[in-house]
Chain A
Amino acid sequence: MYDMKALYQAKSVADAVSLRTAHPEAQIIAGGSDVLVQMREGKRAGAELISIYGLDELRGVSLEEDGTLRIGSLTSFSHITRDPLIQKYMNVLGEAVDQVGGPQIRNIGTIGGNTCNGVTSADSASTLMAYDAIVELTGPDGVRRTPIREFYIRAGQVDIRPGEIQTAILIPKESYENTFGHYIKYAMRSAMDIATLGTSVNVRLSADKQTVERARVAFGVAGPVPLRAETAETLAAGQPVSMDLADRFARAVKEDIHPRDSWRAAKDFRMHIAVESARRAFVEAVKLAGGDL
């Protein structure tokens, strides 16, 4: 038995919003792989829960009319990895979430939960950050869209306002078009582990594959929330593709990241692997984009 005071099960998005308004203190539960575990540990003992797990309308990936990739918030990690639209337009996201926990966790865990828990180590977070994802929230006043960079406020806190639930993650066409990305999770084990550092790089090359038109890089666990390394991005834009560029790009990430010491790893070590992961992910992304270096 879970130590909960009450369970409210939403029957629709509108019902979830009214439950949120009626029970402002209640915790939202999607797949439960964070909330139920925390409850077991006694952290949320006696809490009221609003379950949105049954809302099938929040599952699946689709393409909107303007080319925006829409990922329903309750889409599980394993379904994201297997989704043909993700594989075609944003394969790096499928690869990133395929490194969350283990197989059973990837069947229950949702991308909405992975972002709403506000954790910097979330395997989806750095890639969503690197693709300028938009978070869609539905509340009493309708739908609100906010850039993921503004969604993360601080460790464990995201911009979900009273009455709101997250309903989708949107990837603008401008972010994924002709863009190829690579994610590196650095962890102590190959399964059932939390990232010591997560690095997601994506690039768009010129038509002749000789020049980097745009490079984006984001990290998890390089700060209290997932963050972008803009100095490196600016440095790479418009530069000819080369190994030297990969090295300079990687070293430049140090300007924008501020990892900390934790029991998992020392700050200096995280700095070191951030540079090395940025270099490797950049090289891999350039190769995926058809570049030669």
Chain B
Amino acid sequence: MAEKHVMQYQTVHFNLNGKDVERTVDVRASLTDMLRNDFRMTSVKKGCEVGECGACNVLIDGEAFNSCIYLAVWAEGKHIRTLEGLLGPNGELSDIQQAFAEEAAIQCGFCTPGFILTAVEILESGKEYTDAELRKLLSGHLCRCTGYENILRAVKKTMYRRLGKPMPEA
């Protein structure tokens, strides 16, 4: 006997890029679905949708999460940041975005928002990491265009700038 599915909706309250918001969502939605469809946060990319590529990465309470394997209703009470939240009031690029541009760490750009948000988590720790540590910290993202060297250099450069130290010669 076919069972009738009852649609379930729930109102979720959270902070998105510094602003308190609320939305009534289908409980079956992923956080990617809600951020893209309900808030037009199109920097949150739909890549693999199984938590492998990192294109949908967002910061939740300061930690990096793949929003494709995170239920939208889990956002309740959380502080969520997307790439859109990094821009200045007049659309100015943040230091890490600028560094990605300078180092040609972007080609098609699909992996970029995810990478940059992981970079933000790394930079906000205020710690100085070795290249090996940075590679491990960035390992949850796939880039199919530029490769990883330029991305690593952009993150490293910004890390040293923020620490107020000169970047060691390679």
List residues of A whose CB falls within 8 A of some B CB. 1-7, 9, 32-33, 36-37, 40-41, 51, 53-54, 78, 101-105, 107-108, 190-192
Is A107 within 8 A of B8, CB to CB? no
Asked if B97 CB lies within 8 Å of chain A CBs, one says no
Is A7 within 8 A of B8, CB to CB? yes
Whole-angstrom distance from the CB of A105 to the nearest CB of chain B?
6
Is A1 within 8 A of B74, CB to CB? no
The answer for the CA separation of A5 and B26 in the assembled complex, in Å, is: 12
Q: Which of A4, A33, A54, A103 contacts B137 (CB 8 A)?
A: A103
Is A37 within 8 A of B51, CB to CB? yes
Nearest residue (CB) in A for B53 is A192
- Using an 8 Å CB-CB cutoff, how does the interface string of B46-73 with A read, 1 for contact, 0 for none? 0001111010010000011110011101
Q: A2-B30, A51-B74, A104-B54 are in contact. Are A32 and B136 (CB under 8 A)?
A: no
Interfacial chain A residues near B28, Cβ < 8 Å: 1-4, 7
Q: Looking at chain B's contact residues, is the secondary structure mostly helix, strand, loop, or mixed?
A: loop
* Subset of 7 A-B contacts with CB under 8 Å: A1-B26, A36-B51, A101-B140, A104-B57, A190-B136, A191-B139, A191-B140
Whole-angstrom distance from the CB of B22 to the nearest CB of chain A?
17
Interfacial chain B residues near A9, Cβ < 8 Å: 73
Is B49 within 8 A of A104, CB to CB? no
Is A105 within 8 A of B66, CB to CB? yes
Is A103 within 8 A of B73, CB to CB? no
List residues of B whose CB falls within 8 A of some A CB. 3, 5-6, 8, 26-30, 33, 49-52, 54, 57, 63-66, 69-71, 73-74, 76, 118, 136-141
Closest 5 pairs between A and B when the two form their complex, measured CB to CB: A102-B140, A191-B139, A7-B27, A1-B28, A103-B140
Interfacial chain B residues near A108, Cβ < 8 Å: 51, 65-66, 69-70
Q: Which of A7, A40, A41, A192 contacts B140 (CB 8 A)?
A: A192
The answer for the CA separation of A36 and B31 in the assembled complex, in Å, is: 12
Is B137 within 8 A of A40, CB to CB? no
Using A1-B26, A103-B140 as known contacts, list a sample of 4 further A-B pairs with CB atoms less than 8 Å apart, ordered by residue number in A.
Answer: A1-B29, A54-B74, A104-B51, A191-B140
Is A107 within 8 A of B64, CB to CB? yes
Interfacial chain A residues near B6, Cβ < 8 Å: 6
Interfacial chain B residues near A101, Cβ < 8 Å: 51, 140
Q: A51-B71, A103-B118 are in contact. Are A78 and B51 (CB under 8 A)?
A: no
Nearest residue (CB) in B for A98 is B136
Interfacial chain B residues near A78, Cβ < 8 Å: 63
The answer for the CA separation of A121 and B108 in the assembled complex, in Å, is: 36
Is A1 within 8 A of B140, CB to CB? no
Nearest residue (CB) in A for B54 is A104
Interfacial chain A residues near B51, Cβ < 8 Å: 33, 36-37, 101, 104-105, 108
Interfacial chain B residues near A53, Cβ < 8 Å: 71, 74
Nearest residue (CB) in A for B49 is A40
Whole-angstrom distance from the CB of A96 to the nearest CB of chain B?
15
The answer for the CA separation of A181 and B3 in the assembled complex, in Å, is: 52
Is B139 within 8 A of A192, CB to CB? yes
Whole-angstrom distance from the CB of B32 to the nearest CB of chain A?
11
Interfacial chain B residues near A107, Cβ < 8 Å: 63-65
